[in-house]
Structure 1
Amino acid sequence: MAKVMLTIAGYSHELTCRDGEEARFERLAAILNEKAGQAAQSVGGLTEVRMLLFAGLLLADEVGNLRTAAEAAAATPPAPDVLPDPLMAQAVAALAARIETLAEGLEADAPTA
């Protein structure tokens, strides 16, 4: 098991994690530290626990907004990224006609059983 030292809102916390997860926890702590700073600026005079509570609420609010946006995006059908090219459609239709002609020719030349 690895240990990582995280500093959030000026408070250091040693955390035990799986080997290789140190960088991930450091990135997550940086996000939490940012939110703790926002909480401290907004309210001021908070204890460490209350600052982390407000930081958690700010993060929960962000997650809630992202979930709502994801649900709305999943409920609406995706718009086509590219409109069909008329020349491409004509080329595909011509190829399909050519393939049908070739198939008919092969069927006509095939020996009957």
Structure 2
Amino acid sequence: MGQVTVRVGGYSHPVSCEDGQEAHLVALAGEVDKRVSSIKAMGGGQFNEARLLLLGALLLADEVHDLKVALAQARAGQPVPPPAADPRVADRLARIADRIEGIAQTLDRT
């Protein structure tokens, strides 16, 4: 069993994986860390580790959803819009972060 320590949002996490999958796991953690870093850059630096990881996971889930929709459209022969590569991406991420924070606040009340 392989073992690596990954850093996400400034926190270290030891994680086990199948032998030979260590580099892949580190790359996946890097993707999570990118999302957590973007949340911090948008003013989310006051969140605790659990909140940062939750918000990062929700951003990734949103991206996966968009990719599934695009894949379904491509399989159905529908045109797939090009990926967002303009300044509006930051605005979209900010709106998503606001929605996620609203969800997180609702969870805190329960």
Instruction: Please classify the TM superposition score into its range, dividing by the shorter chain length.
Output: 0.5 to 0.7
User: Does 1:66 find its partner at 2:75?
Assistant: no
Give the number of the structure whose alpha-carbon radius of gyration is greater. Answer: 1
Secondary structure in 1 aligned to 2:6?
strand
| Cα distance in 2 for residues equivalent to 1:61 and 1:2 | 30
**TM-score of the aligned structures, taking structure 2 as reference length:** 0.67
Write the deviation string for residues 34-90 of structure 1: whole angstroms up to 9, x where unpaired: 011011222421110000111001101100100111111111179xxxxxxxxxxxx
Aligned residue identity for 1:9? G
Task: Choose between structure 1 and 2 for higher RCO, CA contacts under 8 A separated by at least 6 residues.
Answer: 2
Aligned residue identity for 1:20? G
Write the deviation string for residues 3-62 of structure 1: whole angstroms up to 9, x where unpaired: 101000110000111111100000000000001101122242111000011100110110
Secondary structure in 2 aligned to 1:71?
helix
Q: Which residue of 1 aligns with 2:26?
A: 26
Q: Any stretches of 5+ residues in structure 2 without a counterpart?
A: 80-110
Write the deviation string for residues 84-104 of structure 1: whole angstroms up to 9, x where unpaired: xxxxxxxxxxxxxxxxxxxxx
| Cα distance in 2 for residues equivalent to 1:31 and 1:77 | 29
Query: Number of residues paired by the alignment?
Result: 78
Q: Percent identity?
A: 38
Aligned residue identity for 2:70? A
| Cα distance in 2 for residues equivalent to 1:31 and 1:73 | 25
Decide which moves more: 15-24 or 41-50: 41-50
Q: Which residue of 2 aligns with 1:37?
A: 37
**TM-score of the aligned structures, taking structure 1 as reference length:** 0.65
Q: Any stretches of 5+ residues in structure 1 without a counterpart?
A: 79-113
